[in-house]
Amino acid sequence: MSILEARKLQVYRKGAEPMKLDCNKQSVAGSVSQRACVFCGSRVVLYPIADALHVVHGPLGCASYTWDIRGALSSGPQLHRLSFSTDLREMDVIQGGEKKLAKALCQLIDLHQPKAAFVYSTCIVGVIGDDVEAVCRQVSAVKGIPVLPVHSEGFRGTKREGYRAACEALLKLVGTGSTEGIGPVSVNVLGDFNIAGEVWIIRDYFEKMGVQVVATITGDGRVDDIRRAHGAALNLVQCSGSMMHLATRLKEERGIPFKRVSYFGIEDMAQALYDTAGFFAELSPGIVERTAALVGGELAVIMPQIAQYRRKLEGRKAAVYVGGAFKAFSLVRALRQLGMDTVMVGSQTGLREDYEELRQLCDEGTIIVDDSNPLELSSFLQEKQVDLFIGGVKERPIAYKLGVGFCDHNHERKEPLAGFAGMLNFAREVYNTVASPVWKLTPRGRKRELSWS
């Protein structure tokens, strides 16, 4: 397989030569990128806000493909799991979709009584010239709830611009609620989407430490919590790609400091808690000790079992391809904890500094790749004799078709992988995947057995 000329600078093999990796640019036409679009970026970030109405303004497809798409759980309302589209038709494209949008919004708001509404613009809305801002203003005035336009026309850039548009919409909410009852030892949890209930695990840790969680943005998110999020003393930012814009703006405009954290893997999870404890050490006497006790207690439960898995996984090879590079750091470390080497790692939307960090983290010979595609990924899996590939739904059949184990670390997972308990789930899933006897029956497995015997 030869890598397309236009993509050669987006693939790097760790070695002697200095790292030059091209990234953060539009996908090469015809390369079959694994990326989605601006709309996707906005939609995934705002999706978990469970008491808001999410209306996709455009032809039907974009709403259909995102109906109940993420396993982002809610402890209460389930409105986010429904799919609403203005379903624009040919005549609407000619005559404009503003009236249809206004009417759809009014009907849906009357029926569902949401706390706010998000209106996602899709590609053609940006072209036919609908004044979505004006419609949102009018409906908001009539219905008395925030109606927020999200400028997520698919062609406006990559998923990153979608994240930014989502943050811009959130910024219109933050600061509009009362901060009464918020103490000085308080945080917002940014960038966890409560897949399989992960944000509940994290919230529980913070509460045990004596830290008040003001808003979880956006996992198990609620409009009223987001409105008063400016009352928190600290923002904890995971999935930095999607939420850094929000954190940065809140720092600039409201002086709220932020810390980058990750809740995946033992090291990163513990670090996140210790960093938070350190931040509040003066305000909250005993927090550092409480945190140490919490971490110690959790580790005592999971470490013996993880050690057992590690014995069976030692020396296996893994590949990682995820949306944001920040998650890749945690995965490389978590895999190392299980005794596994990451021989290929890549992301859809990493930045130069992310890839530099990955280079430092990885062993010699590791392939680091930006914005890859099925042909490249499959050739890397074969070249590196990978035992386990970690990615999302679109990567799964690439691995499976070649008889390579696969773990979903994206929207569709049903077991939490965050936190200490999540690390144990992760270890179990990796083991269950790699240890399955089915691989022995595949062409690749038979070949490997022959070469080992």
Partner 1 sequence: MVVREPFVATRNACKLCAPLGACLALRGVAGAVPFLHGSQGCATYIRRYLISHFREPVDIAVSGFSEATTVFGGCDNLRNGLNNVARQYRPELIGIATTCLPETIGEDVGFLLHEFHPEGSAPFRLVHVSTPSYRGTHVDGFHATVLALADQLDEGGPAGVGINVFPGMVSPADLRYLKEVFADFELETTLLPDYSDTLDGPQLDEYQDTPAGGTPVESVRAMGRARMSLELGRTLAETGTPASSLENRFGVARRKLGWPVGVLESDRFFAVLSELSGRPTPAKHAQERGRLVDSYVDGHKYVFGRRAVVYGEEDLVVGLTSFLAEIGVQPVLCASGGESGRFVEAVKAVAGDAAEGVVVKEGMDFTTMGEVARGLAPDFLIGSSKGYSLARELDVPLIRVGFPIHDRIGGQRILHLGYRGAQQLFDAVTNTLMARAQDSSPVGYSYL
DSSP assignments along 123-189, one per residue: HHHHHHT--HHHHHHHHHHHH-S-EEEE---GGGSSHHHHHHHHHHHHHHHTTSS--TT--SSEEEE
Query: Residue 350 interacts with partner 1 (CB under 8 A)?
Result: no
Candidate residues 8, 32, 289, 293; the one interacting with partner 1 per rule CB under 8 A: 32
Query: Residue 104 interacts with partner 1 (CB under 8 A)?
Result: yes
Query: Residue 154 interacts with partner 1 (CB under 8 A)?
Result: yes
Candidate residues 24, 77, 83, 131; the one interacting with partner 1 per rule CB under 8 A: 83
Candidate residues 8, 13, 89, 440; the one interacting with partner 1 per rule CB under 8 A: 89
Angle between helices 240-254 and 325-337 (to 10 degrees): 120
The sign of the torsion formed by the CA atoms of 441, 443, 444, 447 equals positive
In contact, 147 and 139? CB cutoff 8 Å: yes
Query: Residue 242 interacts with partner 1 (CB under 8 A)?
Result: no
Query: Residue 145 interacts with partner 1 (CB under 8 A)?
Result: no
Candidate residues 147, 378, 390, 391; the one interacting with partner 1 per rule CB under 8 A: 378
Q: Which is nearer to partner 1, 84 or 279 (CB)?
A: 84
Tell me how far, at minimum, the Cβ of 85 lies from partner 1, in Å.
Answer: 5
Q: How many other C-beta atoms are found inside a 10 Å radius of the C-beta of residue 245?
A: 19
Candidate residues 9, 19, 22, 93; the one interacting with partner 1 per rule CB under 8 A: 93
Candidate residues 296, 383, 397, 440; the one interacting with partner 1 per rule CB under 8 A: 397
In contact, 346 and 320? CB cutoff 8 Å: yes
Candidate residues 16, 17, 20, 30; the one interacting with partner 1 per rule CB under 8 A: 30
Query: Residue 90 interacts with partner 1 (CB under 8 A)?
Result: yes
Q: What is the DSSP letter of 48?
A: T
Q: What pairing do the DSSP bridges indicate for beta strands 11-13 and 234-237?
A: unpaired
Query: Residue 31 interacts with partner 1 (CB under 8 A)?
Result: yes
Tell me how far, at minimum, the Cβ of 149 lies from partner 1, in Å.
Answer: 16
Residues between 310 and 339 with contacts to partner 1, criterion CB under 8 A: none
Q: Report long-range pairs for 398-402 (Cβ below 8 Å, ≥24 apart).
A: 398/374, 402/378, 402/444
Tell me how far, at minimum, the Cβ of 252 lies from partner 1, in Å.
Answer: 26
Two tokens, residue 65: 């493909």
Write the burial class of residue 364 (CB in 10 Å: 0-12 exposed, 13-18 middle, 19+ buried): exposed
Q: Which is nearer to partner 1, 311 or 447 (CB)?
A: 447
Q: Which is nearer to partner 1, 131 or 356 (CB)?
A: 131
* Whole-angstrom distance, CA of residue 324 vs CA of residue 346: 9
Residues between 177 and 236 with contacts to partner 1, criterion CB under 8 A: none
Range in contact with partner 1 (rule: CB under 8 A) among 131-139, 150-158, 291-299, 318-326: 150-158
Total residues contacting partner 1 by CB under 8 A comes to: 77
Tell me how far, at minimum, the Cβ of 321 lies from partner 1, in Å.
Answer: 14
Q: Which is nearer to partner 1, 194 or 373 (CB)?
A: 373
DSSP 3-state of 263: coil
* Whole-angstrom distance, CA of residue 76 vs CA of residue 288: 33
Q: How many other C-beta atoms are found inside a 10 Å radius of the C-beta of residue 401?
A: 13
Query: Residue 406 interacts with partner 1 (CB under 8 A)?
Result: no
Tell me how far, at minimum, the Cβ of 378 lies from partner 1, in Å.
Answer: 4
Q: Which is nearer to partner 1, 58 or 221 (CB)?
A: 58
